[in-house]
Structure 1
Amino acid sequence: MADDGWEFRHNASQTGELDNKMINVGIFGANGRMGRVLIEALQHNDQAQLTAALVRSGSDWLGMDVGELAGIGRQGLTVSDRPDEQADSVEVMIDFTLPEALESNLNWCIAHGKPVVVGTTGLNAAQKALLQQAATKIPVVFAANYSVGVNLLLNLLRQTARVMGESCDIEIWEAHHRHKVDAPSGTAVAMGEAIADALGRDLDQCAVYGRQGHTGARPQQQIGFATIRAGDVVGEHTALFADIGERLELTHKATSRLTFANGAVRAAIWLKDKPEGLYDMQQVLGLQS
């Protein structure tokens, strides 16, 4: 979703002074789609402030003011590709880059003892294992979606699956903008995992990702996925529980990426003083222990 490398910028207020009462946050891939929205979210947050904006070495965005990068006006903090020089000014990092950058970003956080909030999607099994390994040394929050509404939806899906899931056909569909590179979305997979877990099923065994041709009758144990990529859709997710004579649809629609950025900043604030371990947004919101 964002740049595949680093950019770092030392953050200061308009007067050049940092507010020591606020949490100092750095962003990996600050020039990416989510990176820019995170800059905006931090500008409006009264508990956290941006102190580092990182991009890959040699990026065209080096030296740019972060506010101009995000389209919110100059903020007095510039982009840099020298993270080691600015490590002391950061308390928590946020990473919404690409899967290929995850290992180097985690290694930097481990080396400098920085908690990290990871929102990168499309991770494979080996990359998810990297999160588990990193969490033995530093606190890590990882979530497929940082929206408060989506995380409430996951709870509702578990409850619905326990009540209706054994008799219903279950389908999940999602829509995103044309630039999204992974499918199905991490949120759609998280929805499937929540449902499968509530029903005691293995999603890897019961998931069907699209159908074509003569497929035969639908097995009741299946959890189907459908994907739409079009225009500038921010994100829409629906889970369908269909029985004979009735159906229930649970839907979440995001209209602004700020909802994800605000959630990630909330996670960063929550994570600051936590011990090493792997956490998720459900814990950040107090929806589970």
Structure 2
Amino acid sequence: MEQINLAVVGASGRMGRQVIAALNHSADCKLVAALGRANSESEGIDSGVLAGCGANGVKVTADFSILETADVVIDFALPDALNERLQAYQNNSVPAVICVTGLDNDSESAMHSTATKLPILYAANTSVGINLLSALTEKASRVFGSAADVEILEAHHTNKKDAPSGTALLLGEAAARGRGQKLIDVAAYDRNGKDQIHQPGSIGFASIRAGDIVGEHTVYLVVAGERIELTHRVANRSTFADGALRAAVWLTQQKSAGFYTMNDVLGLD
């Protein structure tokens, strides 16, 4: 199979660098564009050097017209300016894997709108294990029903900006879906304070920010006399990079515009 021309947006960020490094051992994809913010310290630097994997000849640029050379985009950039990036993907008719968390309603609507014009895959977490955990959470929640208390604990490094994590919210949505709820109606984000009374049927979230924890998530499903704990831990960010590349390859095979998720990639629906 001919290699896929890949563009990485957010190339100077933690995950953008991981994807660029992962391309060193990818037989399916080759890097043709590394995009970052205008006037950033990384602009003009070889993206391979920036990623610590050796020069690759692709310099970090803020010129989105280079997307015309790409078959697919992986976007690990920050949520601000996502709407403008989505417009650039649409202008260049390039499918995109969006791996951005902390989205507001406007950005989510923009993603769905863009997906009517070209293939868009949204992945709050590209780990194969996390997406399997989501499927297991939904099934367990469906079996236990409203009798179970559901609590989600997540832990990340101190530099993570959003809490709860996008992955924790993904798991919360799975738990709510399993018992016919909408997460927005039952989510409890603050268990602190003497006046915080537990509401039956709610789904609670707790966050830890410490050191260099890559990512840990545990879903507790508890009924009288027993409980299930479903846990996933990531030891290396390359897990997310490999999953993102797998999603990008899959997305290039979709001939129709549409909104896709990792469940589609992994056949979990």
Q: Say yes or no: TM over 0.5.
A: yes
Partners of 2:76 and 2:99 within 8 A in 1:
yes
1:128 partner SS: helix
- 1:142 positional shift: 0.1
1:253 partner SS: strand
- 1:216 positional shift: 6.0
C-alpha change, 1:216 and 1:99, in structure 2 (3 Å) is closer
Choose from 125, 135, 142 the match for 1:145.
125
Any residues of structure 2 matched to 1:91-240 within 5 Å, and which?
91-215=71-195, 217-240=197-220
Partners of 1:43 and 1:50 within 8 A in 2:
no
Partners of 2:67 and 2:89 within 8 A in 1:
no
2:70 corresponds in structure 1 to 90
Query: C-alpha separation between the residues in 2 aligned to 1:217 and 1:88?
Result: 54
Letter in 1 for 2:54: G
1:64 corresponds in structure 2 to 45
Matched, 1:286 2:244: no
1:178 partner SS: coil
Query: C-alpha separation between the residues in 1 aligned to 2:134 and 2:214?
Result: 19
Query: C-alpha separation between the residues in 2 aligned to 1:80 and 1:206?
Result: 43
Matched, 1:26 2:4: no
- 1:127 positional shift: 0.8
Q: Name structure 2 gaps, 5 residues minimum.
A: none
How does the TM-score come out when normalised to structure 1?
0.90
**1:163-218 Cα deviation digits (max 9, x unpaired):** 11322211001001111111100110010111101101121121110212223652
Matched, 1:260 2:240: yes
- 1:83 positional shift: 2.7
Q: Considering only aligned residues, what root-mean-square deviation do their CA atoms show, in Å? A: 1.3
**1:111-140 Cα deviation digits (max 9, x unpaired):** 010000000000011110000010011100
Partners of 1:24 and 1:90 within 8 A in 2:
yes
- 1:45 positional shift: 1.0
| Identical residues among aligned pairs (%) | 46
2:80 partner SS: helix
1:106 partner SS: helix
Letter in 1 for 2:53: I
Letter in 2 for 1:107: Q
2:24 corresponds in structure 1 to 43
**1:38-64 Cα deviation digits (max 9, x unpaired):** 101122111111110011222221221
Choose from 79, 82, 85 the match for 2:60.
79
Query: C-alpha separation between the residues in 2 aligned to 1:201 and 1:41?
Result: 38
Matched, 1:52 2:33: yes
Q: Name structure 1 gaps, 5 residues minimum.
A: 1-19
The number of equivalent residue pairs is: 268
Which is further off, 57-66 or 112-121? 57-66
Query: C-alpha separation between the residues in 1 aligned to 2:195 and 2:140?
Result: 27
Partners of 2:37 and 2:43 within 8 A in 1:
no
